[in-house]
Structure 1
Amino acid sequence: MEEVIEQNALSWIFPGAVPLQQLQHFRERLVESFIHADEDYLEFYGTQAHAIMRMDWPNENKFQYLQVLDDVYTELADKAGRL
């Protein structure tokens, strides 16, 4: 873990952290996929989560992608009344 000082504030950079731009792109693709998914949101969520967990990535990266997946699922399922 490295310390970085940004505008008099101390921030931490975790090794293997996924760039924010990459996570935002993943989020945009997920929103599109959820909207166009023929199956149930929960089934699509499970399929995506399973695919992420099978990737050969560090656990920290998997967690970041799963967090984005969870946020998108919760937001869209809540709007659609599926929670």
Structure 2
Amino acid sequence: MNEVIEQNALSWVFPGAVSLQQLQKFREGLEASFIYVDAEGDCFGFYGAQAHTIMCTDWPNENKFQYLQVLDDVFKNYMDKSGRL
């Protein structure tokens, strides 16, 4: 079973869940990449390419979802800070 009891509540743990450290490194890389790509003027193309790469990778869907959440968060934050959201 993939469940864990946390403070008298049942919580599910996905098989092969991505570690927080790995997601943080991915976030840091994306933040730096969006700054670089924005100088070239193609943030939307970069976002689409990253999303496509994640979806084409041979990972469980739960892992893809975690990476897509980070990608969406970084993209929204970057676009909001640059005044384009």
User: TM-score per shorter chain, which class?
Assistant: 0.7 to 0.9
Q: How well do the aligned residues superpose, as a CA RMSD in angstroms?
A: 1.5
- CA displacement, residues 49-71 of structure 1 (integer Å, 9 cap, x when unaligned): 01111111111111110110000
Percent of aligned pairs sharing the same letter: 71
Partner amino acid, structure 1, of 2:2: E
Give TM-score scaled by structure 2 length: 0.85
- CA displacement, residues 21-44 of structure 1 (integer Å, 9 cap, x when unaligned): 100110000000001112321111
SS at match of 2:80: helix
The residue correspondences of 1:1-83 to structure 2 (distance < 5 A) are 2-37=2-37, 38-83=40-85
SS at match of 1:77: helix
The unaligned stretches of length 5 or more in structure 2 are: none
Following superposition, the deviation at residue 9 of structure 1 comes to 4.9
Aligned residues: 83
The unaligned stretches of length 5 or more in structure 1 are: none
